[in-house]
Structure 1
């Protein structure tokens, strides 16, 4: 095959890109030209909405390219791989969606296992134009020092400075990441990922792949992404829409448990628990306490009914279901492991069935219609309501935290006296509406609601920073994927809550996914080696069982650790200098130093956004953040002020060192640490 000048190759590929854009526009205009006319107004409205969504998904973004790679296969087949599927007017592919099965080879093919690929081509892109290309010949024999050499285009894309929200990584997905992205829909995957290994991106791209491969089921039941806070959700918000998936719900755990099914606030959180109380309220044992409290409402028949019996009048005769049979029915319903409301629904039918047995014993031949009539009779409905009264989650929890005797009765053998004293309200509010519910209470209310009635399940849940959730928070997320699978993401070393998990087995057990596949990502693509090696000095102390992560980037990045008597003022000076460079800047301080840092930035004339104020939506290249809000975020350059203060701001030293590990690993290009106080011993 004769050599072709690179400029000619690029020109040919650019013409192909122009053709792909023209075909995409043709597809969009064709979609807009379609008119629903099925004779059914409801069906037509649904189809019109679907067509509008389809047309919106076909809008081209001139700042990006429709494809980022190409594979040439045995037999001469050639596929351009991109973010969406583009066809010509005959239906033949012009660009193949990165999620299609044929695209898998672009990510996984190697000289050892070619998967039919002869040449893999990557494209360099700037503002929607092709600027470079790079070919990898998988049939070629290479020198030992060249085997496995990283792609320069791939490295540039990974290390490219960024500002604003997180981008998709479809052009840079690594083989080990692709295996996780394309895992079977029924498989729950748990990813233990060190900083910079792309675990969040893997979770989001897995959601996009599942929606592509199993669209009907996942669209019908829904896909949910759960993140640690609103700053994190804002950071990742653009990824799935960029991949063409706009119907994915994103939520924090707190929002998840405080929203009603119609999206309105079901619980108003107005209070905050001390750390020890919040830890106890998130303990898995509270699920048993809540279950007992809910089912304690089942009455003893003789306490609410004359002689404990249910009497039903039919015609001129009265039929009596004796108290011992009523007790047996209630015991049988409790033993079935169903929710309280499901048992309440069944109880009238079970009582009616007992009446039918009496009718049959008397020589009658009743049918199902008679049983339904008996179940709907005033006597049975009244008896059922007395035996199993309706309940409200807020009233159940209000009584549990207000009534020491009720709490003691339902926690016997589960909690001790000191724990009960910790849970009980010192000054109980008179009504549930007057309660100052806390975030931990909201999770307990969700547990009560689940004991009463099954929570609807999504088809798939992506849970990020899972190591930070309490047992009851994990249960709340788990019941929202009880009939589906999950993608569980996190890093045990980054657990920064008093109740953070010590093992993934613990997390998966509370989620109800004990058979999940656990995978480890420890090759860092985003965090440079100078930064990750510095932060990793903390690992033997905070997570001795985890392997030390490694950075695979050729650029080691920049690390400056500076002792100074004025760390805040000097940090602002560093930030002001970094603004002149490309990329985003994160200034991270302990919560106590936020106002001082904000005032110093303002005085220096540096425009910035405060991540502790989510109502400030204006994007800025500089972000000021308390240490507690940077988990899951990344910046090209990070300036950290006073590590000792960040550690001291947590309940204990171990948690503080974990928080510091999170803070130190947010940098993609460079990290500057300024301190007046001595650094933690591990970093000296």
Structure 2
């Protein structure tokens, strides 16, 4: 049963009939040859581009862009394994159409395989017996080690010509139970109709994908990101950015290969804690009452008045001595300058605007015989005026601002008047920088409202350097003009703005690098969203002005409980335009495991929506003693491929194919074998039940519980 394309098992004699696979063999061969041709072509073009020497004008920019395009193309082609083709569709009228991870045409422009994201490919995922979408049939391929090791057909008409391949469920179930690797792989070949409908949904507003463990929420989220980058005009050609927010770093490592494997690079992914430098290392808050206070949007709202405290006009004026006399900035001048600062500009960056207005006020009101530009430079270089501006509009670090809230009760009371005296006292601490995970939303809000003080200082220094360069240039120009034979012509040339720009090039002096995680983003994908507090939701909403999000989660997996509806939760944080897609079929967890896990969660959350398992692994849940942990893992690894996750063990180290995690860091991941150690250690109540439920449902094949 072996060929260059098909390597079917001996038990699949009927499927090896040449009449069933000859056309596929020819098409797969042509596709493989085309990938090689395009790789060689892109490699040659890249070499030529790198050797280009004419970089004058825009040629250098065009060359760099072409190099980046070719490098990206080569990376995409290199990631295309033999499983480039997912399957094919057989229209009632027309030739078969092959569906792939990317689209490819032959050298003459004839289509070999179409991208799975195109509208023409949609029936491959969406067709059902009730709605065949114009198809007579559909074929899925299962690849392994560079060849098709199985395929299955579905027929939507009465044609029985290829009945040997009509074993869709057995092959489909086998593919779901295949061994997992250390990183998540694209599962395009097994995406179901309900998942595809969510993937291709409109990006307007919020798409909420609600479903229990194993229903493919993460699959939907990631493939939806790839689909939107291809199909959404706001995101095509790099016009907008997508942010993927995961629950923890192991999750981000697990999904890292999915989007590149679909041909999409450069998508930003992070945890919410990582939006603040060092935030991913902050410990949890020890006092649940403090956590509850910091989790509210009302607490985040305290940042605005906290910054506003430093933007109030002074009650006294200041005198500034210069070479051209003494200038007085009275309270009315300060008030006028402060009112002219544009709203919405981060505080530290807005000091430039304050300077500009203040200098305009002083220069316009000056009664001195001096060039206005010279006077502006003199005032801007004045140390007394700099100190005065620094007092009125200081540059502030986000950590200092939030730290003051936790160490100065009067300041916190002023900025958060909704707090009682007891709550103000509860939030105080001796060390202002003893940050916890619950401080991250406030630190993030402060960073966004304040901006980078370091960038503002660098910009100020750059302007001083530019002013000094121009002063020196003016002196040199004056000397040249004084000694020139034709003073008129030389003066006209040297005083021209263009030539001054060449002599004093300040283009690179003021360049602020943007914060890659600060946004704005055109679309945000957030996984395990049931755990987010209102304060954390504010972090996402502020980064996505369009309100376009994909939110995936399961209310039954919320450790703190989730009594309200999704609609109520999202409306409270400002997300009102919500479309819900509910996934109810568990493709990952075997029925044997799901039965035990369902009992765990329903004991604490009776109305939990537990998905139905689609398959049985034929292996019952095993129990044993904690002392047997090492033997259980070793024995399984000796006879099985795939991955193991040990949850709840203390002092048991990870190794190849074995991860040691907590219930929290296991969220969103999946493993062939899960060994749950001492499940009672997670305690009672909703939190304990959720920990056990999450732990058990990470399994795709077997579960062992050690007590």
TM range (shorter): 0.7 to 0.9
Q: Equivalences for 1:85-234 in 2 at 5 Å? A: 85-140=103-158, 151-214=169-232, 217=236, 219-234=238-253
Return closer, same or farther for 1:298/1:544 CA change in 2, 3 Å cut-off: farther
Say which SS state the counterpart of residue 559 (structure 1) adopts.
coil
Partner of 1:667: 699
Written as runs of structure 1 = structure 2, the 5 A alignment for 1:386-465 is: 386-412=391-417, 414-425=418-429, 427-428=430-431, 435-453=433-451, 455-465=518-528
Please give the TM-score of this superposition, normalised by the length of structure 1: 0.79
For the Cα contact (< 8 Å) 1:10–1:133, is it kept in 2? no
Aligned partners of 2:245 and 2:525 also within 8 Å: yes
Cα distance change on mapping 1:93 and 1:527 into 2, 3 Å: same
1:274 aligns with 2:286: yes
SS in 2 for 1:160: coil
Instruction: Give 1:627's match in structure 2, choosing from 650, 656, 663.
Output: 663
Deviations for 1:507-557, whole angstroms, at most 9, x for unmatched residues? 53576533232222121111122222321224445444543321223x255
- For residues 32 and 564 of structure 2, the distance between their equivalents in structure 1, rounded to whole angstroms, comes to 50
Superposed CA RMSD: 3.8
The 1:254–1:418 alpha-carbon spacing in structure 2 relative to 1, beyond 3 Å, is same
Whole-angstrom CA distance in 2 between matches of 1:471 and 1:59: 43
- The structure-2 alpha-carbon separation of the partners of 1:51 and 1:372, relative to structure 1 and needing over 3 Å to count, comes to farther
Q: Does 1:51 align with 2:104?
A: no
Return the match for 1:250 from 265, 269, 272.
Answer: 269
Which structure has the larger Rg over C-alpha atoms? 2
Deviation at 1:229, TM superposition (A): 1.5
Please list, as runs of the form range in 1=range in 2, the aligned pairs for 1:262-661 lying within 5 A after superposition.
269=281, 273-276=285-288, 277-302=290-315, 304-305=316-317, 323=332, 327=335, 330=338, 339-341=346-348, 344-347=351-354, 385-412=390-417, 414-425=418-429, 427-428=430-431, 435-453=433-451, 455-483=518-546, 485-496=548-559, 498=560, 503-505=565-567, 508-509=570-571, 512-553=574-615, 555=616, 557-560=618-621, 562=623, 567-590=625-648, 593-595=649-651, 597-598=652-653, 608-609=654-655, 620-645=656-681, 647-648=682-683, 653-661=685-693
Aligned residues: 609
Per-residue deviation, 1:451: 2.2
Q: Take 2:266 and 2:83, find their aligned partners in 1: how far apart are those partners?
A: 23
Deviates more, 1:577-586 or 1:21-30: 577-586
CA distance in 2, matches of 1:162, 1:316: 78
Following the alignment from structure 2 to structure 1, what is the Cα–Cα distance between the partners of residues 677 and 690?
16
Q: Post-superposition shift, 1:356?
A: 11
- Segment drifting more, 656-665 vs 177-186: 177-186
> Are the aligned partners of 1:474 and 1:510 in contact in 2 as well (CA < 8 Å)?
no
Rounded Cα–Cα distance in structure 2 between residues aligned with 1:48 and 1:246: 15
**2:39 — aligned with what?**
28
Residue equivalent to 1:601:
none
Partner of 1:18: 29
Using the size of structure 2 for normalisation, the TM-score is 0.76
Structure 1 residue 332, shift from structure 2 partner: 8.4
Question: Match of 2:6?
Answer: none
Deviation of 1:406 (Å): 1.4
CA distance in 1, matches of 2:635, 2:213: 26
Task: Tell me the CA shift for residue 369 of structure 1.
Answer: 10
C-alpha contact 1:467 1:507 (8 A) present in aligned 2: no
Cα distance change, pair 389–134 in 1 and its aligned pair in 2 (3 A)? same
Q: Which residue of 1 aligns with 2:20?
A: 9
3-state secondary structure, aligned to 1:462:
strand
Structure 1: distance between partners of 2:563 and 2:376 = 50
Contact residue 530 and residue 559 of structure 1 kept, 8 A: yes
CA distance in 2, matches of 1:587, 1:165: 13
Q: Secondary structure at the match of 2:99?
A: strand
Q: Identify unmatched segments of 5+ residues in structure 1.
A: 143-147, 259-264, 360-367, 430-434, 599-607, 610-619, 676-684
CA contact (8 A) 1:474 1:507 kept: no
Mapped partners of 1:88, 1:79: distance in 2: 14
Cα distance in structure 2, aligned partners of 1:332 and 1:507: 38
Aligned to 2:101: 83
SS in 2 for 1:68: strand
User: 1:149 offset after TM fit, Å?
Assistant: 8.9
Contact 2:99 2:115 in 1 (8 A): yes
**544-553 or 390-399, which deviates more:** 544-553
Using the TM superposition, give the Cα deviation of residue 220 of structure 1 relative to its aligned residue in structure 2, in angstroms. Answer: 4.5
Paired with 1:327 and 1:240, the residues of 2 have a C-alpha distance of: 52
- CA gap of 1:518–1:149, structure 2 versus 1, over 3 A, is farther
Q: Tell me if structure 1 keeps the 8 A contact 2:340–2:357.
A: no
Q: What residue ranges of structure 2 are gaps of 5+ in the alignment?
A: 1-13, 161-165, 367-371, 452-514
Q: Please say if residues 393 and 448 of structure 1, whose CA atoms lie closer than 8 Å, have aligned partners that are also in contact.
A: yes
* Distance in 1 between residues matched to 2:22 and 2:645, nearest whole Å: 43
